[in-house]
Each structure stands twice: as structure tokens, then as C-alpha cells.
């Protein structure tokens, strides 16, 4: 189970259209019993639009299918992006 301070990926549902579906690093700041999580998402500066550098998103659903607006473990990537 993910705990607070774990790094995950958040799949962008917003910002400029070309970044939709891209992963951004995020830290879990709260985990709800149903598996959803509150995250602080680290944006790619102004490349991700005028949303600020760190974005708080709440009750984000976990998914390994990379749906927009979901989170997944950073080490589950098939394409290698984000692997440590
Ligand atoms: Zn990812």
C-alpha cells in the first residue's frame, strides 16, 4: 500500500493539449481508505500552462491504464519513463 511521501506519477488531464496524458511526478500527501490519494503534482513549469509549479489534486483514483487524471506507481512503467 502506498503511504504518505511515496513518489508516484499523475497523468495530466489539463494544461495545453499536447501534455494531456503525460506523466508528472507527484508525492502522495494523503491516502484515503478507498485507494484514492491526495497528491502534490510537480508540473513542467510553464510548459504545462499557467497552473503553477506544484499543483494539489485531491481524491485521485489509482490506475495502471494511464487514464487522464489518475495516478500510478512510478516503477510500473512499461516504456521506462520515470524509472529510477
Ligand atoms: Zn507514469
Residue-wise pLDDT tens digits, 24-66: 999 999 999 999 999 999 999 999 988 789 999 999 999 999 9
Which residue is listed with cell 489539463? Answer: 14
Task: Give me ligand 1 centre to Cα 83, in Å.
Answer: 9
Read off the pTM: 0.85
Report yes or no: 68 and 21 within 8 Å, Cβ to Cβ: yes
Return d(Cα 84, Cα 66) in angstroms, integer: 19
Task: Give me ligand 1 centre to Cα 30, in Å.
Answer: 19
Task: Give me ligand 1 centre to Cα 33, in Å.
Answer: 22
Is residue 18 over pLDDT 50? yes
Helix (H) or strand (E) holding 1: none
Protein residues near ligand 1, an ion, with CB under 5 A: 9, 23
* Residue 67 Cα to chain centre, angstroms: 11
Return d(Cα 60, Cα 63) in angstroms, integer: 9
Amino acid at each position: 500500500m502506498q503511504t504518505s511521501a511515496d513518489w508516484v506519477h499523475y497523468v495530466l488531464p489539463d494544461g495545453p493539449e499536447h501534455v494531456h496524458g503525460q506523466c508528472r511526478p507527484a508525492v502522495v500527501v494523503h491516502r484515503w481508505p478507498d485507494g484514492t490519494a491526495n497528491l502534490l503534482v510537480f508540473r513542467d513549469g510553464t510548459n504545462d500552462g499557467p497552473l503553477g509549479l506544484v499543483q494539489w489534486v485531491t481524491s485521485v483514483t489509482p490506475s495502471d491504464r494511464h487514464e487522464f487524471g489518475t495516478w500510478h506507481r512510478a516503477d510500473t512503467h512499461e516504456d521506462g519513463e520515470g524509472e529510477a
